[in-house]
Every structure is written in C-alpha cells, then in structure tokens.
Amino acid sequence: MPHWDDIRIFLAVAREESLSGAGRVLRIDPATVGRRIARLEEDLGAPLFAKSPTGYALNEAGARLMAHAIRAEQAMEEAATELGGQAGGLSGQIRIGAPDGCANFLLPQVCATIGRENPDLEIQIVALPRVFNLTRREADMVIAVSPPTAGRLTVQKITDYRLHLAASRAYIRAHPPITRLEDLRGHRIVGYIQDMIFDRELDYLSEAGIARVDLASNSVAVQLNLVRQGAGIGVLHDFSLPWLRAVKVLPDQLSLTRSFYLVRHADDRRLERQNRFAAALVEGLRAEVARLESEA
C-alpha cells in the first residue's frame, strides 16, 4: 500500500513533469524525489512515467494512478478542512492560473486583501499566455476569457470588462490626430503575435478591422509597456489604463466587451476551503474591475 507522502510526491512530478520542478514545489532535493518515485514504482510493480532527457511524462499506469491520487488528495484536504474548522481563516496553498493581463493588473490587489485576512494561506498566481490544464492540476482554479465546453469542469462568470484603443499622451502629442478608424493606417499598432493567440476572444485587432501589427508580443504586459513607452496604439483593458496613464483613442468608434470566468475541476465543489476562497476571489475581482474602470 503506497504511503500518502509518496502519492504527494508522485502528484508533484506528474504536474511539473520533472524531478527538479517537483523538488522546487515540495522544497526537497530532486535526488530525493527520484528515489521516492523509484520506491513507489517498485511497491506498485510498474513504471509510472516515460522518462526522457526532456522530463517525466505519465505512462498508461501513471495516468490510472493519477485519478486515484487526485481523489486521495481531495480526501486529505476535506479532512484538514473539517478538523480545522470552517469558521477560521483559510490555510494551505491555492494556485490560480490566469491570463497575464488579469494576473498583472487585478489579482495582486485582490489576493493581497485575501492574504491579509488569511495569514496562514499561501496564494500562488501563475500568469501564462495559454490555456491551463485543470485535469492535470496545473492550478487549483483558473480565470479564463472563454468558458470551456469540455471536461469535468464547473464554470462561473465573474464579470464583464471593457477594452478600447489607447495610447500614451506623449504618443498622441507627437503624431497626427486620429479622428476616425481609417486614420490608424498612419500609426504604429501594438498587439498580439497573430499565430500565438491562444483564445479567439483575444483577437481584438481583427475585430477592429486592423490587419497590420508593427510591434507584437504574446504577452499583454509587454504590449502595455510598449504603449506606455509611446511605441504605438494598442487595444488595452480599461482596468489597465489608470496604471499606465494612457488615454483612450476613438472610444465612441471602437469599444469591446469581454468576460472573465472562474473555472474549477468538478470534483473540487466538495472542498469547502476552495469554495470559500473562490467566493472571495470572485467578489474581489468584480469590485476591482469596477473600481479601475471607473477611473479609466
């Protein structure tokens, strides 16, 4: 019978796909991680990973064990919540995956507030320009710009947010006036690298009829900094404008609305700790988007 601690190490390796990554998460030496995985495979009588120079990938036996290991993890979390009492503050670790615009301009304020109210809680924010895999438990919950349509997931709409063309005041002063969308042809455009857009909801410029991008990045944060440096005009979240001190361009001619969704694994609905954190996160994000958009 495998020990829970071995299962915990197995889960970390499966999620990080490497001994070194699992070691960082668990704060133990990668060599120790390797020995524990070897012991678990010996106890179970089967290899669990396809090992290569690029990392550790679950094989068929490992994928079967993964489903059981996740259920064991959830049972341990439920027990800790019940024994610790639900009325007290939250504790343990919660990892949130989010697109980098949300991760940079909304989550720090919201999570700082939740953290002050729950000093024993460790909150991790993972900002990546791609879709997260909740089945592999890359995160406990994910903020997405499109609601997923497949998988054992629960989806809750958080809030709408708005986007407009924007530029720095220095750029506006130094370039010809813009009175209509056609005038944009004479200006440098900042946006996404087209073939790296991971969600169709992020293809803002196509919706605006803009085909050319002069300065591009797969990162929203890089795009925002390009605009802040006066490099050009981009489609920006209204909630980022107070931070950048940028101004809207043609707001009466181009205005986009998108939505944030909170996505969780369906099995996690039983976890009171995560339910309480999710409720605080949704409430905080709604308030922060409303506050920043009112200042834009």
In order along the chain (296 residues), what is the average pLDDT of each group of 10 residues? 85 89 88 92 92 90 87 73 60 88 95 94 83 65 88 90 95 93 91 85 81 90 94 95 91 94 84 89 97 92
Q: What is the pLDDT of residue 81?
A: 60
Q: Note the pLDDT of residue 98.
A: 93
pLDDT of residue 206: 82
Residues 179 and 2: their CA atoms lie apart, in Å, by 69
pTM value is: 0.74
Write the DSSP symbol of residue 196.
G
SS3 content of the chain, % helix, strand, coil (to 5): 50, 20, 30
Backbone angles phi, psi at 177, to 5 degrees: -65, 155
Query: Based on C-alpha coordinates, what's the Rg of the chain?
Result: 22
* Residue showing tokens 């220095």: 170
Architecture of domain 161-258: 3-Layer(aba) Sandwich (3.40)
Length of the chain: 296
- State the pLDDT at residue 78: 66
d(CA 46, CA 287): 51
DSSP H/E element including 285: helix 272-295
Parse the chain into domains and list their residue ranges: 1-84, 161-258
How is residue 61 written in tokens? 């036996």
CATH 1.10.10.10 fits 1-84, yes or no: yes
Instruction: Give the separation between CA 107 and CA 65, rounded to whole angstroms.
Output: 34
CA angle 21, 110, 254 (to 5 degrees): 100
- Percentage of residues in the chain with pLDDT exceeding 70? 93
What is the torsion angle, in degrees rounded to the nearest 10, for the CA atoms of residue 77, residue 80, residue 83 and residue 84?
Answer: -120
**CA torsion sign, 289 to 122 to 35 to 78?**
negative
Which distant-in-sequence residues (6+ apart) come within 8 Å of 112 by Cβ? Answer: none
